[in-house]
Structure 1
């Protein structure tokens, strides 16, 4: 599956910072992680810190799937607002899902510090009401978050204007966000894991999957055989062949990165991340080299991909115009533009853990706008499953929920 196209900013900025070998022998492993993006990297890290050694493999070069196309906003807000999620799964479970995402962002910060990755930045996040009718929705959201002691402020129209310089009926200012370069962080994690003798192979596509009662046999495109006791699937949107495809609806999202600004005073309110209530929503962030990234204008995922890719030029212009409507005083000139893939689930939650039809297979499927936070949650749940340790949160994200 072609998960991205165009010129993803992170790939242009970082290039290929490290190289990894192709698999050119048969393997016998305890735990195999399929997928060498940010999800696979976080899983390998969490397992290694718990004393579980894994091997990581990917059909592409490390990080060149969805990871390099991610805009890398770290938000605890699930795509389904908390007050709506409470109606779907109950208020206690909904609030727990949000709190887990808050904790996940803090833990990602700890990982960044541990691996000496300087690209993690704590940020506030503003969600503004796209329409007048959305003001009441934000009030409902504000009330339920405050009930669960989630740090958030409600801004009225005047406060949004005075703080951010654009008009919106209302806004929620969250205190627990962050942003990273997920592509570079993926590589940094894998380099850190060398001390654990973790093996990482890329450019090695698996074409056969044979799950049995006691083990898993996998065959690569160059006819090597991998036998593993446990397999973790961190392949995101490419896992549909192994599970019920109805659990996720694939979307294509578009993004632009601006030319570099000459001063770091180009963005409002301490480089706060900004997004809106409309669906699909527009989202914006700054980078540490004085650029603005704007994303959104989502469409249904297309195959063949040229239909999706043909929209890149018009979507780039539309993103520029949407940004200009909010910030007419900022001259945003796109230098890089690209499109990536993400998935939406009915309740906005990921699917994590065991799937009955795939024995000895475990899934870390962090769909949605905060998939990186879900990756951390998935890694901890799978770690506990492998160590036969009870995890009270696993049921929130099970397949048969």
Structure 2
């Protein structure tokens, strides 16, 4: 049986959840495909409303990106607010902005309400590596304050950042006290357990091979089928082949994290004194934070080929020690990766197929809070209040060019340009 991929998160999971495979046909109110944060969040909300809910997971609950990510809880969207304003107009952009803040509040309230032990820590900084970055961050702060009323951001110069972060790789940053970080697998497992306690039923090792749309949609596995009134597709980058119409608007991209051995409390605190999460603002970025047991979790690098880079642990270690040369003597204990689903414009892609089949995908590396809100909004829509979900559905999206065979090399060429821009 498939278990969680080897990672620091799997090794430090605080819940050991096991569910059977689906062996018999079922008739339910709602069938959810995918037991990550989106699926678990939708299941929790719907079960609390009294719906009969079944969740089908191809592997283990929390197996995909939800259980492997950097765990950085950040305001807004991967595409940035300015792009949403250009695409949607200021009023719609304002509403979407408020929903992004509500997503973080929803996450915090569920962690508290359901006693989810996931090491929530407040504080995050976007770090600048060059003067151009400082200008971009200052403009970003100004826009978010003046146009959206967001006032929790503080510009830090090199001295202020260096007081908190023991690296000379950065010249300043934009600090947000309202963002933070969590252990993503423990958060996901906590949502699953809360949804189960509310009445949702989970099945593992039950990959959906195809769906049939209509008045009563059907999700088929190799051994059984689930007939429902509403079908939710929450597999994101791991939903290959189930819904080709939406798959063309999504690109699975590999991204990777390495975890050091425990550093000890004193040495870890010397690296990041206020325990904030950190991300630079390169297009191909580095991001990192401390774990609760005093490791450095360092993420970065991407792969568009579908193959893990050769000598991955060594490559990740080189980058980690470039940012923190004082860790030359520290061993890496875990290195892992997974797929994140990105869209052409980096905005999230929500929508409906045939009225009663819902989907949410394309969080583009910015999903730890927004995925939970996506599930909440799908449940809200099924219960009769569709306004917020439908606003996301109006964000325009395009297919990746080149079809299944050529879209990856086309994207790799485009990414080469962005990497050159980062280096310059």
TM-score scaled by length of structure 2: 0.84
Instruction: Name the structure with the higher helix share.
Output: 2
1:399/1:144 CA distance change after superposition, 3 Å: closer
The aligned counterpart of 1:37 is 36
Could you list the runs of 5+ residues in structure 1 that have no partner in the other structure? 303-307
Q: Work out whether residues 236 and 361 of structure 2, in 8 Å CA contact, stay in contact via their aligned partners in 1.
A: yes
1:236/1:71 CA distance change after superposition, 3 Å: same
The aligned counterpart of 2:167 is 166
The aligned counterpart of 2:292 is 288
1:336/1:15 CA distance change after superposition, 3 Å: farther
Q: CA deviation at 1:154?
A: 1.0
The aligned counterpart of 1:368 is 364
CA distance in structure 1 between the aligned counterparts of 2:386 and 2:270, rounded to whole angstroms: 48
CA distance in structure 2 between the aligned counterparts of 1:316 and 1:282, rounded to whole angstroms: 15
Q: CA deviation at 1:125?
A: 0.8
Q: Work out whether residues 251 and 343 of structure 1, in 8 Å CA contact, stay in contact via their aligned partners in 2.
A: yes
CA distance in structure 1 between the aligned counterparts of 2:22 and 2:288, rounded to whole angstroms: 39
Q: Does 1:89 align with 2:91?
A: no
1:312/1:392 CA distance change after superposition, 3 Å: same
1:79/1:190 CA distance change after superposition, 3 Å: closer
CA distance in structure 2 between the aligned counterparts of 1:41 and 1:267, rounded to whole angstroms: 34
The aligned counterpart of 1:395 is 391
1:84/1:210 CA distance change after superposition, 3 Å: closer
Q: CA deviation at 1:140?
A: 1.1
Describe how 1:2-401 pairs up with structure 2 within 5 A: 7-14=6-13, 17-147=16-146, 148-150=148-150, 151-167=152-168, 168-212=170-214, 214-222=215-223, 224-239=224-239, 241=241, 242=243, 243-264=245-266, 265-302=269-306, 308-309=307-308, 311-313=309-311, 315-331=312-328, 332-355=330-353, 358-392=354-388, 394-398=390-394
Alpha-carbon displacement from aligned partner over 1:273-328 (angstroms, at most 9, x marks no partner): 000111111000111111111111112141xxxxx23x252x33233222322222
Q: Secondary structure of 2:160's match?
A: helix
Alpha-carbon displacement from aligned partner over 1:231-257 (angstroms, at most 9, x marks no partner): 111111133531233422221111101
The aligned counterpart of 2:400 is none
Q: Secondary structure of 2:131's match?
A: coil
Q: Secondary structure of 1:244's match?
A: helix
Q: Secondary structure of 2:46's match?
A: helix
Could you list the runs of 5+ residues in structure 2 that have no partner in the other structure? 398-424
Q: Work out whether residues 47 and 199 of structure 2, in 8 Å CA contact, stay in contact via their aligned partners in 1.
A: no
- What value does the CA root-mean-square deviation take over the aligned residues? 2.5
CA distance in structure 1 between the aligned counterparts of 2:220 and 2:109, rounded to whole angstroms: 36
The aligned counterpart of 1:305 is none
Q: Work out whether residues 349 and 395 of structure 2, in 8 Å CA contact, stay in contact via their aligned partners in 1.
A: yes
TM-score scaled by length of structure 1: 0.89
Q: How many residues align?
A: 388
